[in-house]
Amino acid sequence: MDKKVHSSKEAIAGIKDNMTLMLGGFGLCGIPENCISELVRANIQGLTCISNNAGVDDFGLGLLLQKKQIKKMISSYVGENDEFERQMLSGELEVDLIPQGSLAARCYAGGAGIPAFFTPAGYGTEVAQGKEIRYFNGKPHLLEEALYADFAIVKAWKGDWDGNLVFKGTARNFNPAMAMAGKITIAEVEELVPSGELDPNYIHTPGVFVQRIFQGANYEKRIEQRTVRSKS
């Protein structure tokens, strides 16, 4: 099945106000830049976004936050975005902070058909409030439920017309798990090749999880915190 679409605008068709989206990436690496920009242009409102981070003020999900298009963030690390902090402290943005491993596991569980699981992460903190606690091998664990999304939007290094995906380096982070957990999964790739050209042994996400794929453009290689050494 040929799953190619011709643009980010065509890729996000059907995303409406108040939907839940998963967006892959770790920091500014492996984020679906083209689709995020298209969501900004489409001015879709009231989004619940599941993402490890919230980008920075002028890039990534920070662009949606600037336009007040996100009503809730389900994330792990959000420390690089001043606008996120302002909206959270003012009560404009609902925030659910989750330990990073638990966030990844909850996304994977959603795609694997596991409705919930027990983990020791977060016990004894605010994360555990209102959650069931059980003991395994004498150690307390809290119940975490799987995460799902109306649309999962991921970014890969290479893909084919059938939707098979190969991720590169750190971009192989939340993207594979999120690709499994969306009712509809959109993949933007740096290089799109005909079906059969990818070595099956190196495919990270099988095309069965992907409904739409397109070749993106103008990707930026941003660095969140640049640290350099003096010449002395």
- Give one word for 203, left, alpha or beta, with left for phi > 0 and alpha for psi -120 to 50: beta
CA gap 232, 168 in Å, rounded: 35
pLDDT at position 231: 77
- Low-confidence stretches of the chain (pLDDT < 70) are 232
Mean pLDDT of the chain: 94
Q: From residue 157, how far is each of 77, 78, 150, 203 by CA, in Å?
A: 24, 25, 23, 11
Per-position b or e across 69-83, b if 16+ CB within 10 A of its CB: bbbebbbbebebbeb
Give 34-70 as a DSSP string: HHHHHHHHHT--SEEEE-S---BTTBTTHHHHHTT-E
pLDDT at position 13: 97
pLDDT at position 141: 98
Q: Which two tokens stand for residue 82?
A: 């001043």
User: Could you read off the pLDDT of 76-102 as tens digits, one per residue?
Assistant: 988 778 898 899 999 999 999 999 999
The answer to whether the CB of 144 falls within 8 A of the CB of 107 is no
pLDDT at position 220: 81
CA gap 114, 171 in Å, rounded: 24
CA gap 50, 41 in Å, rounded: 20
CA gap 215, 102 in Å, rounded: 31
pLDDT at position 197: 96
- Is residue 42 exposed (0-12), middle (13-18) or buried (19+ Cβ within 10 Å)? middle
Contacts of 213 (CB under 8 A, 6+ apart): 3, 4, 5, 159, 160, 161, 163, 165, 186, 187, 188, 189, 192
The answer to whether the CB of 83 falls within 8 A of the CB of 66 is yes
Domains detected in the chain: 8-215 (3.40.1080.10)
Q: Which two tokens stand for residue 29?
A: 């690496």
pLDDT at position 117: 98
Report the side by side order of strands in the sheet with 116-119: 116-119, 139-145, 133-136
